[in-house]
Chain A
Amino acid sequence: MKSIAELNQIKKDALARISGNNGFRVMVGMATCGIAAGAKPVFNTLAEEIKQRELSNVDLTITGCIGSCRLEPLVEVIDPLGRRVTYAKVDPQKAARIVAEHIVNGRICLDYTIGAALSAPN
């Protein structure tokens, strides 16, 4: 890195990719807590579904701990309009449905959202 201009160029490119205007961003909490709760198979299922459906507009990525341990594995989906949905206690089966329903059909899986997880009886 020789100059701030160079840094700013990387910033611009990365921002364009992250909040690109016609794609989904899907983040799986993969810190120790998420992985212990089963985030790896969830990530793999998401990757598999995205590949099988040949979805080119999805940026699937790992991320760190968001803090809600008891709701892990957590998956966040940010749609092309920047709307954020957090899915809680996701397993591979739920992950497959999130791709099919939310990303392909644009319908949020209401019953998997964090709100549903919090209001469900323990």
Chain B
Amino acid sequence: MNIYRAHILVCNGEKCNSQNAQAIYDEFKTQIKKNKLEEELTVVQTGCIDQCSQGPVVIIYPSGVIYTMVRIEDVTEIVTEHIIRGNVVNRLLGGENINLDSVIKSLDQVDFFKRQVRIALRNCGVINPESIEEYIAYDGYQALAKVLTGMTPEQVIEVVKESGLRGRGGAGFPTGVKWEFTARAKGDQKYVCCNADEGDPGAFMDRSILEGDPHSVIEAMTIAGFAVDSNQGYIYVRAEYPIAVKRLNIAIAQAKEHGLLGKDIFGTGFNFDLEIRLGAGAFVCGEETALMTSIEGKRGEPRPRPPFPAVKGLWQKPTLLNNVESYANIPAIILKGAQWFSSIGSEKSKGTKVFAVGGKIQNTGLVEIPIGTTLREVVYEIGGGIPNGKEFKAAQIGGPSGGCIPASHVDVAIDYNSLVQLGAMMGSGGLIIMDEDTCMVDLAKFFLEFTADESCGKCPPCRIGTKRMLEILQRITDGKGTAEDIDKLEILAKNIRVSALCGLGQSAPNPILSTLRYFRNEYMAHIQDKKCLAGVCKSLMQYVINAEACRSCGICSRVCPAGCIKGEKNVPYVIDQTKCIKCGACMEKCPFKAIYKNA
């Protein structure tokens, strides 16, 4: 590793660049090389440092001297005087007008962050997740103390009900009501479980909470144990989350050591213990009955409901199951009150929701927003818009069980009810943004491949139905679809929805139904015109060489892995379409942009 004696920063902001900052940067590089200083010095281009009226700006570290209105002729002087001889070039100093306070220095000043409201993620990125003291420093275990020393189970349930919190794992069932059902169920032994299976591809909300703030889940589960009268909890987490598992284990051990788990917590006589169960990463094991079957040590397959887990769950005992994010909200609700929580969010859906925003968006990442925030705000303000100047086409919300929201509905407020009206759903927090280059039939196929693959096979509607739907989608994207295929898809979808045993099968048709609802024209284009408008489906597009633009350099022919591009000097090259495997390598490498996709 090189440690440099000094750093020269040249502002690369728009304004500075319009005044030759790039040339100044290049000149520094040249001069440094000329003086053989490369080993000691480095020149860096920085983002705008907000001194635009005085640009171009150059800063020299370690002294921190700021030169303003630098011209290319000044570079030699800065190098010989300042860098080599150590004398500051006074005439270039900006004087008192320089103020670096306006430069964005921390994350909480950035739009991506400013628009978020962090409740479930309140400690993520704030505390050391492996230190119970730090959790306690930020009010950790105060909610548990309040509950155990001053509230009855009924009061706890009442607060959770009043807060309006709904399950964040996908189904959106009111959490307080679920707690009440479990509390009322008769049984000598009850269990509290946490669903940390997180099977939605691309989603990582729960993982982040477990990795960043594991104690919040432990505290919440203990509170739940008190509320429903249970002394034993299980956290079901996928083994593919080794860091989450490690930090959970550390946290549980610390909580036990501090007497925050175990016997006679806060001297109140209340006992609660917690164990981790690892899942092997099957999507179906996130479904509540399959999850409990898996904890019991059996093959993770769903069972019919009713009986619901609140009545007969784990080992046939009354069981409360909630999602990681649902739990992470609980301590804050107990401490700050139901009114506080229900003042955040929309009229009917309270609080916040964490989304894992991915796909064709500038700021990919994890965001926690008040429910009722519009999709437009998420995409354009928090998300920073679509990269490469492309158009926003649609968002897939709720992963393989969810649906899409087309650009025409970008102003929808994201809440449980409004999304259902659009044929989508809140889901567990997967939010994939798609641009104009996405084929919606291909998207539906992607999710069906996933559900067909993840179907556990116990019930025929899901096992066979998802396979048949996938075959039809394959046919359509191969350009072999017929008009009846759409009818078949719709009939199958509707039947599977009502007949599958669990939510996996019941929701598997959603991506098809929702893309059919908004993008039927794309299905028709594949079927009738044999065209994929987005140029994604390989069977329906060709790579073609524009004879006029081709300079016969032969690069395409050399990179083609199928050896199917031929030509010679002064004669345009041609792609043999019968052999082309449509990898696109030729188009990528053509220096003259002579190769294009013919969709």
Contacts and interface: CB of A to CB of B under 8 A. Distances in A.
A51 B208 CA distance: 30
Given A32-B207, A65-B208, A84 B260 contact: no
Interface string B183-207: 0000000000000000000001001
B570 interface: no
A68 B365 contact: yes
Contacts of B7: 97, 111
Given A3-B267, A70-B363, A100-B62, A115 B124 contact: no
A110 B366 contact: no
Contact of B365 (A11, A18, A67): A67
Contacts of A110: 9, 46, 49, 59, 100, 103, 105
B125 interface: yes
B265 A93 contact: no
B133 A64 contact: no
A14 B121 CA distance: 20
A110 B47 CA distance: 9
A80 to B, nearest CB: 16
Contacts of B387: 122
Interface residues on A, range: 35 or more
Contacts of A32: 204, 207, 211, 241, 243-244
Nearest to B384: A118
A121 B363 CA distance: 14
Contact of B259 (A1, A69, A113, A118): A1
A46 B72 CA distance: 37
A7 B211 contact: no
Nearest to A113: B105
Interface residues of B, number: 71
A107 to B, nearest CB: 5
B365 A115 contact: no
A122 to B, nearest CB: 8
B1 interface: yes
Given A31-B207, A86-B105, A101-B62, 14 more contacts: A1-B265, A61-B128, A63-B126, A63-B212, A64-B123, A64-B211, A67-B124, A67-B365, A68-B112, A93-B1, A97-B4, A101-B61, A107-B62, A119-B47
Interface in B66-110: 100, 103-110
Nearest to B366: A67
Contact of A29 (B9, B125, B149): B125
A47 interface: no
Contacts of B48: 115-116, 119
B243 A114 contact: no
B121 A67 contact: yes
Interface stretch (B137-145, B288-296, B549-557): B137-145
Nearest to A41: B1
B213 interface: yes
B267 A108 contact: no
Given A4-B145, A4-B266, A120-B47, A11 B136 contact: yes
B576 interface: no
Contacts of B103: 110, 113, 115-116
B375 interface: no
Interface string B21-62: 000000000000000000000001111110000000001011
A2 B259 contact: yes
Contacts of A100: 62
A84 B125 CA distance: 13
A103 interface: no
A62 B125 contact: no
Interface string A38-67: 000000000000000000000001111111
Contacts of A92: 1
Closest 6 CB pairs between A and B? A64-B212, A115-B104, A66-B125, A119-B47, A14-B137, A111-B46
Nearest to A104: B62
Contact of A115 (B109, B130, B134, B363): B109
A116 B365 contact: no
A107 B104 CA distance: 15
A24 to B, nearest CB: 14
Contacts of B139: 11
A121 to B, nearest CB: 7
B3 interface: yes
Given A1-B266, A18-B137, A65-B124, A113 B12 contact: no
Contact of A113 (B104, B124, B136, B244): B104
A122 B9 CA distance: 18
Nearest to B240: A32
B596 interface: no
Contacts of B112: 67-68
Contacts of B142: 7, 11
A70 B368 CA distance: 17
B113 interface: yes
Nearest to B146: A4
B456 to A, nearest CB: 27
B3 A96 contact: yes
- Chain B CB count within 10 A is highest, among A2, A32, A101, for A32
Nearest to B118: A67
Contacts of A105: 62, 64
Given A1-B260, A118-B104, A10 B267 contact: no
